[in-house]
Structure 1
Amino acid sequence: MRRITVFFIVLILSIFELKAQDPEAVYNRYLDLNVAMLEARQYDAIGLAEKIIPDTAMLPPKARVSFYNMAGKLFDDDRQSEKAINYYQKVVKAEPDYYVANRALGYLHLKQVEAAQKKLNGSAGGKQARDEYINAVQKALPYLEKAQACDPSPETLAIITSLYKTTSDDKGLNSLDERLKARAKSCVDILQSQ
């Protein structure tokens, strides 16, 4: 009798597990997430996103990229920079010319630049602090440049220029206009979710 009871418990748990992994259920949660974001229900949206995360592979490819973008935005708004960076990088990997994710990554990495700069200023110019600062700048620049190429902004351009100057990268600064023109030729401003 005990074996039969254990068997049925395992069977019921297996059915629930299969239901949780149903692609249609995952896609329905994705649609619910879209509604929650449209209605600015941040708390609900984060909860839905966290339920979708383990099953993102079940979303259609374009919906998956759109989900990653939404998750990046949610975590960015919730001040969870590392999570936001993780999801925005997935967007850029799938859609390298999507300037919104590039801009978000640029500004998220800029926060790391500012933290590295504070560390550099407080360390009396130590080599390790300088290297960390330069590495942070090098992470931010490609994303900021793509954002600038696709949606020019005097503020972003001033930041990019300042970063090249503070790292003494005259070569990068001198070739900036050329790179921006090349990158401006392939900009995506809307992700397709279907």
Structure 2
Amino acid sequence: MFKRSLIILSIIFAALTSRAQTTDEVYNQYLDFNLARLQGETDKALTLGQDLIPNVDKLKDNARISFYYSIGNLFENDGQSVKAIEYYEKVDAAVPDYYVVQRALGYLYMKDANDLSEKLNASRSNINENKRLTILYTAAAKKALPHLEKSQACDPNDDTLSLIKSLYKNMGDTQGAATLNSRLKALSKNCVDLLDDK
């Protein structure tokens, strides 16, 4: 019995170690992922990216951050907002001045605010429901605003600026609206527009 258990454990150990990928193999997967993405093979890139996720910690920091942005973008374009946000937030944590991810997060968070806005308009006759939805809308807007403002500070866009101003107006936050220009000026000092994966 002991010999049989030892043989089974040896087989299991051999199987597990043969599946472990080396750093070079993971980097090659990352290169294949990027190639598919750059060639417009989005389905293939998404599959390769999902296969890479369990071993992404074997990539160097810059490559891992670049991967997180790229896989987040693929998830966003595939309509998987929750997964996109998960990976964009990893990029935001590592490179908070990368305004491209700030814009993506801001607009993804705006989806919740937009949904709540529609519900708010429909609940005007129900005071309690309207108050509850107003609180939720304000929280969603406040979640989107810092990302939208960083994006606007680094890459000014009339639509984004209009959206920011309308959020402050909808929340009744005159102080936030009044200090917007000074915040944008301060935020514009540290902008990253490209991620280096080397």
Tell me the distance in 2 between the aligned counterparts of 1:132 and 1:69.
28
Q: What runs of 5+ residues in structure 2 fail to find an aligned partner? A: none
2:133 pairs, out of 129, 154, 158, with 129
1:98 equivalent in structure 2: 98
TM-score, normalised on structure 1? 0.93
1:73 aligns with 2:68: no
What do residues 31-85 of structure 1 show as CA deviations (whole Å, max 9, x unaligned)? 1111011001111111111111112211101111101100110000000001111
Could you tell me how far 1:4 is from its partner in structure 2?
A: 7.1
TM-score, normalised on structure 2? 0.91
Could you tell me how far 1:169 is from its partner in structure 2?
A: 0.4
2:45 equivalent in structure 1: 45
1:182 pairs, out of 180, 183, 186, with 186
1:1-194 → structure 2 map (5 Å cutoff):
6-7=8-9, 9-18=11-20, 20=21, 22-124=22-124, 126-194=130-198
Q: What runs of 5+ residues in structure 1 fail to find an aligned partner? A: none
Could you tell me how far 1:128 is from its partner in structure 2?
A: 1.4
Share of identical aligned residues, percent?
Answer: 44
Could you tell me how far 1:8 is from its partner in structure 2?
A: 5.3
Could you tell me how far 1:6 is from its partner in structure 2?
A: 2.7
Question: In angstroms, what is the RMSD of aligned CA positions?
Answer: 1.5
Tell me the distance in 1 between the aligned counterparts of 2:6 and 2:188.
66
Report SS of the residue matched to 1:97: coil
Tell me the distance in 2 between the aligned counterparts of 1:112 and 1:102.
16
Could you tell me how far 1:110 is from its partner in structure 2?
A: 1.1
What do residues 109-160 of structure 1 show as CA deviations (whole Å, max 9, x unaligned)? 1111101112222223522111110000001100000110011011110000
Letter paired with 2:82? E
Q: How many residues align?
A: 192
Could you tell me how far 1:24 is from its partner in structure 2?
A: 1.6
Runs of 4+ in 1 over 6 A off after TM superposition: none
Letter paired with 1:112? D
